[in-house]
Amino acid sequence: MPRSGNLRAIVAMVAACAMFACMDALMKTLVGTYPPLQVTALRGLTAMPLVCLYVLWRRQMGAVFSRHLRWRLHLLRGVVTLLMMALFTFGLKTLGLAEAYTLTFIAPLIITMLSVPMLKEVVPASHWVAVAVGLCGVVVALRPEQSAFLSIGALAVLAAAVCYALSNVVGRIISRTEPGSTLVFWTTAAMALGGSALSAVHWVEVLPEHGPVLLGLAVSGFLGQLAITEAFRHGQASAVAPFEYTALAWAVALDWMVWRSVPDAYTLAGGAIIIASGIYLIRREAPKALVVVPP
């Protein structure tokens, strides 16, 4: 994998984290009014028009509905993504955004581990060290003696992190033979259709005052999905995954701006360690990316 591809993917991952942090903050404001599965459905339904316009603009509608799609993998990724969103949204009912993100930071380690047997990648020692250091930061931020992290909400977020890791690895396998538009389209469709079907019995009427929130949910989710698809399409999974740690910085900022919640010293110390591991990796990647790679 060319190093320039890794650097491009890292930039895309950081942008995706910013967009998804905004999306999750909006979902947290909705979960107090609507069931988690309905919030997941609204996430897919609001983004679907943008996704369709994107596919039409790229002139890839034929690819999206091709007979040669890897339907089983798309179905697996759709189910896992739907489960991930529902579990994470459920966890947001009781956890702050920064706390929830801290728990999800097991995902990069899982992705790195899965990239060896599933993607046949060779993981450089420096990436393993950076991931290990980042996980030490997670342990610091977790404060294992705190009972809050043993709640049902926390367990739901941990399960969502496992689903997220599997979804991204499956997406990487699909992207070897299909354009990124197929991943974005069918993942969004799975959330829209699957979430609507599963939440139909307990559907709550959407309030008009939540219109701007739903619009923001659509835009941030759509842009984040595009960015993360590009990240794992153009970069080595073991190099890109650790940069999901930057999501903690966005979560801390949003917690303060929206809910006036300030993380304690443990969360800040753990976050500093996590972010430091990411900075180390990008310093390792950037100089090597200066080498011109033929297209």
User: SS3 of 240, please?
Assistant: helix
Dihedral of CA atoms 247, 166, 70, 200 in degrees, nearest 10, equals -80
- Residue 215 to residues 9, 57, 93: CA-CA distances in angstroms? 27, 20, 21
Which tokens in the block code for residue 156?
């739901």
Give me the percent of the chain exceeding a pLDDT of 90. 34
Distance (Å, rounded) from C-alpha 267 to C-alpha 262? 10
Whether pTM > 0.85 for this model: the answer is no
What is the domain partition of the chain in residue ranges? 3-287
Is the per-residue pLDDT at 275 higher than 80?
A: no
pLDDT one-digit tens code per residue, 125-163: 877 887 788 778 777 776 665 555 557 887 898 889 889
Cα 246–Cα 250–Cα 252 angle in degrees, nearest 5: 110
pLDDT one-digit tens code per residue, 43-65: 999 999 999 998 999 888 999 99
Which tokens in the block code for residue 217?
């949910």
pLDDT attached to residue 44:
92
pLDDT attached to residue 122:
73
Distance (Å, rounded) from C-alpha 28 to C-alpha 47? 17
Is the per-residue pLDDT at 259 higher than 60?
A: yes
**Can you tell me the mean pLDDT for 231-258?**
79
pLDDT one-digit tens code per residue, 190-209: 999 999 999 999 999 999 99
